[in-house]
Each structure stands twice: as C-alpha cells, then as structure tokens.
Amino acid sequence: MAFFASNKNTTPETAEMSFLQHLEAFRWHLVRSAAVVFVFAITIFCLPEIFIDTVLLGPIDQNFISYRTLCSLGHRIGVGDVMCMIVKPVQLQTLEVSEQFFTHMSFSFMSGLILAFPFILWELWKFVRPALKDKEMGPVKIFIVIASFLFLIGISFGYFIMFPMSYNFLINYQMSSKIITNQTLDNYTSFIYTLTLVSGIIFEMPVLVYFLTRMTLLTPQFMRKYRKHAVVIILIASAIITPSPDVTSQMVVAVPMYFLYELSVFISVWTIKKYKLNVL
C-alpha cells in the first residue's frame, strides 16, 4: 500500500513507504513532541518558586499584574475605582496527603503541553508535508503559525483577564454571613485550568471558520445575517465568564470576543475568494 505517490516533491523512498512505515514515522513525531513536553514539564516542576508561587498562585495576590493594570485602566477611562479589585486573602487547603504532589505534577504537565504546542503543530506539519502539493505548502505553514499564535493569545487572555475577573467576583460572593468559603487547591487549579483552556479554544474560532468555509459548511453571508444573534450570545457568555454586575468588566471580555467574530467573517470571505468556492 503506497502513500504520497502522486506528490512530485517526495523521494522514491518516501513515495513507496508502506502503511507500517508511515506509522513508524508518525511514532517518532509523537516521541519528539512528548520529549519536548517532558523537558518543559521537568523544568517547570524544578522551579516551583517561579511557576507555582508566581504563575499558578499569582492571581490570588493583590499585586498581580492584571489587578494593577485594570485599576489603572479604569482611572484612565474615567470610571474611577470601578475596575479596581480587592482580592480576598485566601489560604488554599489540601484534603489529601498526596494532593500537593499530584497537583504540582499536573500543573507542570499542563504548562509543558501549552508551551510545547507550537512545536507539536510543527511536528504534525513535518508528518503531513510529503502529502502536500506545492501550492498547499504555504497555506499549511501559515495555518501552523496562526493556530499557535491564537492559542497562546487565548491562553494569555484567559489567564490574565477571564480568570482574575471571575475569581475575584466568586471568592468575594457571599449569600449568607453564616457561610464561609474555604477553597481547596484542587478546586482552584481546576477553575484556572478550565478558564484558560476554554479561552485558548475560543481564540481558535478563526481557524475553525476557515475549515468550515473550505468545506462550504459556513459562509460570510450566514455570519453577517446572524451577527446580532452572535452579539447577544457573546454578551451572555461574557456575563457568565465575568459574573460581576459591572458592565465595564463584561466589556473587557466581550469586545475581544466580538473582534474574533469579525475576524472570522473576514477569514471566511478571504477563503471563498482564495479558493474560488461556489457557495449559495
């Protein structure tokens, strides 16, 4: 069984590779990717003062950069202390003897995976490259760069904006003076993982729109027609992400999400023109 035989860029050896040989090649791409993740994870694990105290636990510190920046921004745009957040002092608790160790390991692995994401996409590119035609090489390279950039920007947005806003509201929310919030380390890390990863996935929307448009499953006309509906959904999502009743805080999340939507419309238009797709 031969693969990539029609590609003039492949060598005779590559063109005649069997299915098992392709699996072997793919295995080595996975091994190299895993090795890079492992190196990042080990480095992060060995530097807890930087990555645990400063990165993982940074958002529960009043001096965290996001709190200082948002407060300064609020004063500059003339809304006073509305965007200034006072972080409630909290002492994270562990309920199991092994919880700190396994949390340390999981955080190191997650961080290593995020940092290695561009390299993983690059290894994927090297695997599929022999099957691509000359005219397909450029777009795939651009896709890898854009996908990596959007993912890392999304992770940063979730970590520096979405999580601090949500956390600050929820940790200070109290429905009764008889109830005290004692937060566990596991709950804290699950919350920060969820918001940052969801943000990274949301920022991949232009890439998703590109592929849906290529498959003629989505058109810019459709996105423009339902733009108002999208705005409502974005506002609802921003209200959920930042449950604070303050509209200014919600706009800090809603505006970038709306920008992503408009960028996706542009991507859809460009894809149709680029590949001369016939859409209704």
pLDDT, tens only, 66-124: 999 989 988 998 888 888 888 888 889 999 999 999 999 999 999 999 999 989 988 98
pLDDT, tens only, 172-187: 888 998 998 888 999 9
Residue 230 contacts by C-beta under 8 Å, 6 or more apart in sequence? 223, 258, 261
Residue 67 contacts by C-beta under 8 Å, 6 or more apart in sequence? 84, 85, 87, 164, 168
Residue spans of the domains in the chain: they are 12-203, 206-280
Other C-beta atoms closer than 10 Å to the C-beta of 280 total 6
Greatest C-alpha distance within the chain: 75
Q: Is the pLDDT of residue 9 over 50?
A: no
Share of the chain above pLDDT 70, in %: 89
Long-range contacts of the stretch 229-234 (C-beta < 8 A, 24+): 230/258, 230/261, 231/258, 234/258, 234/261
Tokens standing for 55?
């990165």
pTM of the model: 0.84
